[in-house]
Amino acid sequence: MILLWPNKEPFYEGHRLSWWVDEYGNHQHSPERIAQGKEALSAIGTNAVPYLVDWIGKIDAEPPFARRSVSIFLNHLPKAAAPHFLVSWADKDDFHTRMWDQAWLSAAAFAALGTNATSYISEIKALAASSTNGNVCVVAECALGNMGPDGIAAAFDVIATPGLRQRDLLVQSSAVGQHLEPPNAMTFPVDEDPNFRINSIRAAPFLLKCLGDQDSRVQRWAVRLLSSSDPTSMVSALTNFLAGSPSPAIRGQAVAALAKHGRDARKAVPFLLSRCSDSDPEIRTEATNALMQIAPEMLSKDYPQSSQPP
């Protein structure tokens, strides 16, 4: 049963929304508790979103007046006379830690809501793009990444936009990058994204756009994700992009990203072989260097060029 109290958090099965947010997003919890948290958040649904967005926006909030007043009062008491629970409640550092944790857990909670929360993407995208607080931008970016392929596209659209005040922080954090990678044995259950392949497809156009960005840090970020994300999606995207004859500077970065996929990029071998006979010596060199990392046997004189790489 879900209860909605005026001006208070939604309740589910006797616990507040914030309690369920912690149950789901805390990596120290057992898989069973995380699953229960996901079930609860799904049941609360979009009633949770206004609170989650509010908590993200308050990541660096200062303690409210009541806490500050109690803190001042306690400072005038002998240390032994101050109740421990009240000291902890009024402690400024403890308050900041709680707000920080609550903001990140709120971003994680959007993974449990999934596509049910997509109608709020534009609001969270605006928060990531326009907040003057860098931490808010980064956590909002993380929330977008947890909202499915549409949220992923919105997050990459924000980062690909030149001139944003907090763009450097968004690139450095790249919280959305994990959503382009296949889950592995080291991935926490909360971090697993079954949509990694379609996420990669949705992100690719923005990453390819960033190869021509004026900011070299953005260029390096784009190359890194293009070369480390799901190869099934990125190899096709890079090959199609190169077939469109981009400018030499961008072309070189795209070929380098393709080559870093190594043998996972074997699907691009016929295209690269065709480039080895191009009239442009730079294109021939780039293709040859890429083949050395992807299928070096194809460069052997003894290897039948009509064959496909193993």
Res 195: pLDDT: 84
- Residue 73's CB is within 10 A of a number of other CB atoms, namely 12
Res 245: pLDDT: 87
Res 243: pLDDT: 93
C-alpha to C-alpha distances, 62 to 91, 97, 130, nearest whole angstrom = 11, 11, 21
Res 68: pLDDT: 64
Res 172: pLDDT: 83
**Cα(151)–Cα(84) distance, rounded to whole angstroms?**
43
What tokens appear for 126 in the block?
């605006």
Res 166: pLDDT: 85
- Residue 132's CB is within 10 A of a number of other CB atoms, namely 8
Q: What is the CA radius of gyration of the chain?
A: 25
SS3 169: helix
User: Over the chain (310 residues), what is each successive 10-residue block's mean pLDDT?
Assistant: 58 94 92 94 95 92 66 64 62 76 94 89 94 92 93 94 86 81 55 79 94 91 92 93 91 94 94 92 94 90 50
Res 115: pLDDT: 82
Q: Is 80 exposed, middle or buried (0-12, 13-18, 19+ CB in 10 A)?
A: exposed
Closest-CA residue to 178 (of 166, 194, 163) = 194
C-alpha to C-alpha distances, 44 to 7, 41, 116, 151, 306, nearest whole angstrom = 16, 5, 11, 20, 59
Identify each DSSP E strand in the chain by its residue range. Answer: 2-4, 10-12, 15-16
pTM comes to 0.79
**Cα(298)–Cα(308) distance, rounded to whole angstroms?**
9
Res 186: pLDDT: 43
Question: Domains in the chain, start-ordered, CATH in brackets?
Answer: 1-191 (no CATH), 195-310 (1.25.40)
